[in-house]
Structure 1
Amino acid sequence: MTGAAKRAIVAGLRWSSLRLRLVVVFAVVALTAAVSASGIAYWLNREAVLSRTQNSTIDDFRAQLQSRAASLPLHAGQPDLRRTAEQMSQGKAGYSVLLVAGSDAGPPLVGASDPGVFAYEDVPERLREQVNKRQTTSGSTTQYHLYWQRIVHEGKPYLVGGSRIANGGPTGYMLKSLESESKDLNTLAWSLGIATALALVGSALLAQAAATTVLKPVRRLGDAARRLGEGKLDTRLQVSGSDELAELARTFNKTAESLEKKVADMSAREESSRRFVADMSHELRTPLTALTAVAEVLEDEVDTLDPMIAPAVNLVVSETKRLGGLVENLMEISRFDAGRVKVVLDEVDVADQVTACIDARAWLDAVELDAERGIMARLDPRRLDVVLANLIGNALKHGGSPVRVSVRTVDPESGAEVADGTGAQLVIKIRDHGPGIPEDVLPHVFDRFYKASASRPRSEGSGLGLSIAVENAHIHGGTITAANSPDGDGAVFVLRLPRDASEATGAAPERTGGTGTGEDGGR
């Protein structure tokens, strides 16, 4: 048996399997019905068989008592009693007879048709008392009644009965074996048991067939839903029939069609938005370049300008720089959205890269670096610089000095710090000593254009820096997480990158696209 077949059998036997539950429910219902029907049939047949035998035997015994025992003399001897008992037992009913007469000289006289089978001691004491009890009920036409009961003697069933002849006559008892009736009833019980077992097997087969009929379209529906979830929006089900499952398939097809249309509309709008942002950013670059050149000239001449004009010039210069950064960020975001971002990997010393990032932005006095030289990684140096610039710049802007940057290599399985090795993961932590990040802001710190305070819509940052950092981390196969320090002193951003990003990036031999600016926080 193949591994796939074994897995299918195991899956079919799980209680969570609808097939197994259908089979079990069918089996329980069939077993309950079969056992109930068999029990009722057995009880009715048992009562019918025993009542028929009992009534015929009792009637015959009563008639024999009236015709033979009642004709015995008042003081009949034991030979007369035995002879009469033998005559009574020779009927077609086939029972043993015991006649008992009182004796003034000693113990009662007993005449038995089969002394070895039925003796006076075999008569139940309770039955003797009932038989010898004189009836005192007013309106009764007889002094003594005929009583009977079923007993089990030496493992065999019997019917025993008795009555007394009025006016001093003998007392008669009879013993009828019910062994043949018991055998017939046992045979009936076995037959009903076999019928119940066959009904159980039949119900299991019927449940299997029903489960196959019901589960086949359900399985097709599940497969179609899985394909739809995988993005195959053109998935449709073949509909046949007019039952509930067919209606469910029609509903699925309508839902899939509506979803496909909405996704297509959304994709078209999203693509249009991306093109608009990319085109707008591209078109803005030319006039922005001219504005930047003019702003640089004005910045150089600001000391010579009229003091009333200088503040306006400074505002124009700062806003032009901010606009330039925003345009570069928008172009970078549009490239990420379009999937046209490429990376150029190089073997770099991570400590040197962090130092160069801090030095290039004159942050040496505000940043503490804890990194050993010699930790090598295959990454895109330019994009790593963008990530570090955004994370450190965000910490300096919204946190508090000093900002501490640490570089470690850890085991990706356990998270424990390990010595430098090829299988280790690169972890860079950036911690500030500010007020931390509010709990309601933490889930959104990497969202585009998100700012922690709505009252600061014109803050220096555009709200794109951290989202650009995350995108650059993702294309390296890494992640960035944000949290507050356990001691409540500042926020901690953790950048995790593989030591070799070749598999995650499919690195290109050349660069394309813009630079993507740094120092643009989102808090």
Structure 2
Amino acid sequence: MRAAAARQGGGRAVLADPDPYRARSRLPAGHASVTEASDGKRRGPTRRVLAGLRLTSLRLRLVVVFGLVALTAAVSASGIAYWLNREAVLTRTQDAALNDFEEEMQNRAGSLPPRPTQDDLEATAVRMSQSSQRYSVLLIGEDPDGKTVVGNSDLDSFTLTDVPKSLQKAVNEKRPLEKGNKDEYHLFWQRKTDTGGTPFLVGGTRVMGGGPTGYMLKSLEPESEDLGSLAWSLGIATGLALIGAALLAQAAATTVLKPVHRLGVAARRLGEGKLDTRLRVSGTDELAELSRTFNRTAENLEKKVADMSSREESSRRFVADMSHELRTPLTAITAVTEVLEEEADSLDPMIEPAVRLVVSETRRLNDLVENLMEVTRFDAGTARLVLDDVDIADQITACIDTRAWLDAVDLDAERGITARLDPRRLDVVLANLIGNALKHGGSPVRVQVRVDGDDLLIRVRDHGPGIPEEVLPHVFDRFYKASASRPRSEGSGLGLSIALENAHIHGGEITAENSAEGGAVFTLRLPRDASHMVERPAGEDAGEESEESSGVSS
């Protein structure tokens, strides 16, 4: 009598059931099988989400990329190694146990009478469980009275309730004999876990010709522990690979980023005006070529800046020399025009208009020369502050009184507001702003003084039509004329520019805007103490200037 062990090529069938190892059975061709079921979805490696982390450092990005590549490679290699070893371990264990169980069923259970007693089944089950594979055995048959009897090698650890219903059904299902199936019954198996999480292998078959049905139960806990140790080893290897990759990435980043860092430092020095900055170039790679390109660019830039500086210096020297050369004859011409102006009333009425025109144009030319000299000082960087404690209300009153503007200007300033400023330059600023408001805006001009923290605010507002929107961005440009049809106005177009430069040298600012109530508003903001703006180079008196200018120019 033969055990129905599906001897069609020596293979076995596996039943669907939860499998803690997710192993795939290797069945030779020609064997019946039942598809293995899953206890859940197969889960891949956990994705690490870097949320809210701003990787602004190139070095950090390189280390992270190297780490991710190494982690992916290590996890992939470890996963493949674990899966292959797991398959090998489980397949070898289950094949050895099933082969032994199959032989025991053929040799021992097959030798039992067709209707054995319960004692026969228990004795046979005990002998079968004593094999080298150490599994529990459960034999089920019918005694001579036709009753179902059960023989168990270990009643406490293995009963029929431990055998899945699907496996029982498959084992007891009779299959028709055909060309591809020579046995009515087959050997089936499946892996499962108990409530404690211990994995087991359950197999079953029955003896041909009405013999008993046998089931075996083998613990896979030793294999599970070995696989757990393997998983820990692979995890440690993955961690070491990740650390090694991070160290290699750090070394590679240092090698790659050192030239980039040097290039960044050189670019900053170049931006600070150190045009003689050059990089030391070695090698023939892309970074070396980039360094050579930087050196060529810096060299060309240095040549062009030197050429432009030379031209600017020549132009500035020309303007300064021209202003000085004009000043001497203008002094004589001014004296003559003053005499002519005093005698204008006694001159021939035909000559008087010409004399007054000469006087006016001479004054205008004198103002232009003074302004050009002042602009030249600002451009050359030789303008210096001569600081003194100034009462702002007294300073504005003196400026207005000197130019006979008392009837046209409304002053709103509290007495006692003082500031440490350059009184001469402040007078130039005020004269330009108030004179510009009287000339182009119309009286009354309101001058308001307020203190804003450590700053001093002086607002000059006129009651004219205001400044056209297209002109506002250019009111402080040199020689700018609001109307191209009036190129010969009384002003030179330098007054507001000089006023702005005087504000800047104090560390202040001037802004222009139109008032909502009509008219233009110029706001002068100055620090109440401009001492921090004073520079005293060695051997040079900070308060000494070769020339001084004052007056109104617009």
Normalising by structure 2, we get a TM-score of: 0.83
| In structure 1, distance between residues paired with 2:323 and 2:387 | 27
Q: Once structures 1 and 2 are overlaid, which stretch shifts more, 318-327 or 377-386?
A: 377-386
The yes-or-no answer on 1:476 pairing with 2:506 is: yes
Match of 1:403 among 445, 448, 451: 445
The yes-or-no answer on 1:496 pairing with 2:525 is: yes
SS at match of 1:237: coil
The yes-or-no answer on 1:83 pairing with 2:83 is: no
| In structure 1, distance between residues paired with 2:387 and 2:119 | 127
| In structure 2, distance between residues paired with 1:98 and 1:177 | 15
- The residue that corresponds to 1:70 in the other structure is 110
Pairwise CA distance, 1:286: 2.6
The yes-or-no answer on 1:119 pairing with 2:163 is: no
| In structure 2, distance between residues paired with 1:501 and 1:249 | 44
| In structure 1, distance between residues paired with 2:527 and 2:487 | 36
Pairwise CA distance, 1:257: 1.4
User: 1:103-502 alignment to 2 at 5 Å?
Assistant: 103=143, 105=145, 107-136=147-176, 138-139=178-179, 140-153=181-194, 154-305=196-347, 307-412=349-454, 425-485=455-515, 487-502=516-531
The yes-or-no answer on 1:41 pairing with 2:70 is: no
Pairwise CA distance, 1:49: 0.9
- The residue that corresponds to 2:99 in the other structure is 59
| In structure 1, distance between residues paired with 2:197 and 2:426 | 95
Identity %: 71
Q: Match for 1:181: what amino acid?
A: E
Q: 1:110 to 1:396 in 2, by over 3 A?
A: same
| In structure 2, distance between residues paired with 1:475 and 1:438 | 28
| In structure 2, distance between residues paired with 1:190 and 1:377 | 77
- The residue that corresponds to 2:30 in the other structure is none
Over aligned residue pairs, what C-alpha RMSD do you find?
Answer: 2.4
Pairwise CA distance, 1:15: 4.0
| In structure 2, distance between residues paired with 1:264 and 1:301 | 54
Q: 1:180 to 1:435 in 2, by over 3 A?
A: same
SS at match of 1:428: strand
Pairwise CA distance, 1:145: 1.5
- The residue that corresponds to 1:520 in the other structure is 553
Q: Once structures 1 and 2 are overlaid, which stretch shifts more, 303-312 or 245-254?
A: 303-312
Q: Match for 1:93: what amino acid?
A: Q
Q: Decide whether the 8 Å contact of 2:115 with 2:144 is kept in 1.
A: no
Q: 1:190 to 1:506 in 2, by over 3 A?
A: closer
Q: Decide whether the 8 Å contact of 2:177 with 2:183 is kept in 1.
A: no
SS at match of 1:164: strand
Q: Decide whether the 8 Å contact of 1:392 with 1:519 is kept in 2.
A: no
| In structure 2, distance between residues paired with 1:32 and 1:510 | 71
Q: Decide whether the 8 Å contact of 1:325 with 1:517 is kept in 2.
A: no
| In structure 1, distance between residues paired with 2:206 and 2:169 | 11
| In structure 1, distance between residues paired with 2:449 and 2:197 | 91
**Cα offsets for 1:223-252 (capped at 9, x unmatched):** 222222221111111112222222222222
**Cα offsets for 1:57-104 (capped at 9, x unmatched):** 222322332333233222222233233333433333332222211347
SS at match of 2:466: coil
List gaps (5 residues or longer) in structure 2: 1-52
| In structure 1, distance between residues paired with 2:468 and 2:432 | 19
Q: Match for 1:23: what amino acid?
A: V
List gaps (5 residues or longer) in structure 1: 1-12, 413-424
Q: Decide whether the 8 Å contact of 1:427 with 1:494 is kept in 2.
A: yes
Q: Which structure dedicates a bigger proportion of its chain to helix?
A: 1
Q: Decide whether the 8 Å contact of 1:158 with 1:179 is kept in 2.
A: yes
Normalising by structure 1, we get a TM-score of: 0.88
